[in-house]
A and B are shown apart, each in its own frame.
Chain A
Amino acid sequence: MSVLVYVENTEGKFRKSTFELVSFATAIAQKSGSAVTAVSIGNVEDEELKKLGNYGVSKILNAKNEKLKLGNVQPYASVIAEAAKAEGAKVVVMPASFSGKGISARVAVKLEAGLGENVVDIPDTSSSFIVKKGSYSGKAFAFVDITSEIKVISVVANSFKVIENKTDASIQSFEPALNENDFKLMVKETVRATNKISLPEAELVVSAGRGMKGPENWGMIEELANVLGAATACSKPVSDAGWRPHSEHVGQTGIAISPNLYVAIGISGAIQHLAGVSSSKVIVVVNKDAEAPFFKAADYGIVGDAFEVVPKLIEAAKTFRAGHH
């Protein structure tokens, strides 16, 4: 089962989630004793590409082209589908990132392949090809058999560990013909908060709700996140009230996350919120209401006023970070 993995870059650099994805692709390939080919699109230097060899990739197709510098979904899907055909790939592994989802859908249509979205574990290939994927907005998992000859899967960040597996990766230039019809959508401007950790991929998340009483009190939430090296998030009422941007809203109708640690401050834990964060490995809840439903879904709980508890958490986090790097 030859495996092709799309290695997404951000301004020429791979994120940790890309190395997770490559490790995931390698784990699938190892089951059938086959090799992993990576396809990179855009402007990534060889030095960065070579890092992929640390995680089991044996061949890298490098579609380096000025026209593909901006992350356009349509031409990227064409390049990946061409690479899959050229390699005779039976499994195409994609990131379930914002653009990865759009690209995966197009690649699946181009290859007439079944698509497994938001996959959270290595497929069961014992008799067919069954993937475990998130469903009902985090309230359940679905096991889906991909019955087509070629399978496309998109994998959720933080659901698989980076595993070292040194190989000699060869880099080959890949230049498929580009179709003008793929360039009807123009990227005018890219706005990226460079100093912020991307919420869907964050390992640690500090989140707050209405218990903070107003947007002016978010300084301590940001400070705690900063000391821990965490991303910030919020509940739906907070983003609806305009206290925080929609891009920070985690929950059923916001972003679903699966960090290693989720710290919820002043969030009561409505079922819609829990759905979006239930895959977090460890959950800490701080709430002044001992009856808050969130405590039932938490690993650690502190009943207390956020304005009293959070400063203590910040001080302790400073000491903690000074002690363990």
Chain B
Amino acid sequence: MKVLVCISHVPDTTAKINFSPDQKEFIQQGVTFIINPYDEIALARAIELTDGGKGTVTVINVGDVSTEPTIRKALAIGATDAIRVNAVPRDGYYVARQIANVASQNAYDVILCGRESSDHNGASVPSMIAEMIGVPAVSSAKKLDINGSEATLEREIEGGKEIVTTSFPFIAGASEGMAEPKIPNMRGIMGARTKPLTVVEPVEVPQLTKIVSYDKPASRSAVKMLSVDDAGKLWEMIREEKKVI
């Protein structure tokens, strides 16, 4: 079984997000970058499914050379090899086109992504790749089991879940519950240095969207504190002052 895991290089979940004074650029200085948390779940499941010589796990990232430490971490966790598409990602469509291009030249049985990246949160890349290469996808999967070349997945829906089946090849976006993220051990970290990391150049993609600027949520006015004895007045107070209930 050949598995491709798509990983994104994102700010650490505890990072404070700041932009340049003109609000056009995200300030990277002082920010630690990590493997997108959902992608770590995808990677962990891929490693479990291919454990014991049952297959290979290739990780792919679209990014410039600065993402290589993140790629090496995925190799340390247990991926077999890696591909970096040498380009700064423009939007989800751009990333999906690059990955679809690599996928169409290699017969992967399973392509796993995280459900969404924690920076742009589009949740569109898995389904876009699937559409581009003409395969089924589950955009948010909480479980993935494989039997031969048949997969059973648990798909999130509003207020519930669906159990779906499909055969190879397919794409899934990993959500919480599919696997527990793995922590690399010392042997993994040492081994990662010599695992193959292939750099490929991007294909041309038409520009469909452009980020104009960023903004941060408006800060709230000062908190209004109630004593425990007055707790019972809360709902009427919210109704009077905020009119949301």
Q: Which residues of A contact B (CB under 8 A)?
A: 10, 15, 71, 73-74, 77, 97-99, 101-106, 108-110, 112-118, 130, 132, 134-148, 181, 184-193, 196-201, 203-204, 228, 239, 246-247, 249, 252-254, 256, 260-261, 270-272, 278-279, 281-285, 295-304, 308-309, 312-313, 315-317, 319-320, 324
CB of A161 to closest CB in B, whole Å:
12
Report 13 cross-chain contacts, Cβ distance below 8 Å, ordered by A residue. Answer: A101-B139, A102-B127, A105-B124, A105-B127, A115-B208, A146-B208, A186-B165, A193-B160, A239-B176, A253-B38, A271-B13, A281-B244, A300-B224
Which B residues are CB-close (under 8 A) to A148?
206, 208-209
User: Which of B19, B206, B226 neighbours the largest number of chain A CB atoms within 10 Å of its CB?
Assistant: B226
Q: Is the interface of B mostly helix, strand, loop or mixed?
A: mixed
The reply to whether A140 and B139 contact each other, CB–CB distance below 8 Å, is no
Closest to A132 in B: B215
- With contacts A98-B158, A281-B242, A309-B228 known, what are 13 further pairs, Cβ within 8 A? A101-B139, A105-B127, A142-B211, A143-B214, A143-B215, A144-B210, A184-B167, A185-B137, A190-B157, A190-B160, A239-B176, A272-B13, A295-B225
Nearest CB of A to B118, in Å: 5
Query: Are the CB atoms of B232 and A140 closer together than 8 Å?
Result: no
B116-167, CB < 8 A from A: 118-128, 130-132, 134-140, 142, 152, 155-167
Chain B window 100-121, contacts with chain A (Cβ cutoff 8 Å), 1 for yes, 0 for no: 0000000000000000001111
Residues in A neighbouring B202, C-beta threshold 8 A: none
Query: Count the B residues whose beta carbon is within 8 Å of the partner chain — how many?
Result: 85
Check A200 against B158 for contact (C-beta < 8 Å).
yes
Q: Restricting to B189-235, which residues have a CB under 8 Å from any CB of A?
A: 206-217, 220-221, 223-228, 231-235
How long is the Cα–Cα vector from A260 to B142 in the complex, in angstroms?
A: 28
Is B131 a contact of A118 with CB atoms below 8 Å? Answer: no
The chain B residue sitting closest to A97, CB to CB, is B158
* B residues apposed to A, CB below 8 Å: 11, 13-14, 16-17, 19, 26, 37-38, 91-93, 96, 118-128, 130-132, 134-140, 142, 152, 155-167, 170, 175-177, 206-217, 220-221, 223-228, 231-239, 242, 244-245
User: Do residues B160 and A191 form an inter-chain contact, with CB atoms below 8 A?
Assistant: yes
**A316–B220 CA distance with the chains assembled, in angstroms:** 26
Contacts of B160 in A (CB 8 A): 190-193
Q: Give A233 to B208 CA distance when docked, in angstroms.
A: 37
Please determine whether A147 and B223 come into contact, CB atoms closer than 8 angstroms: no
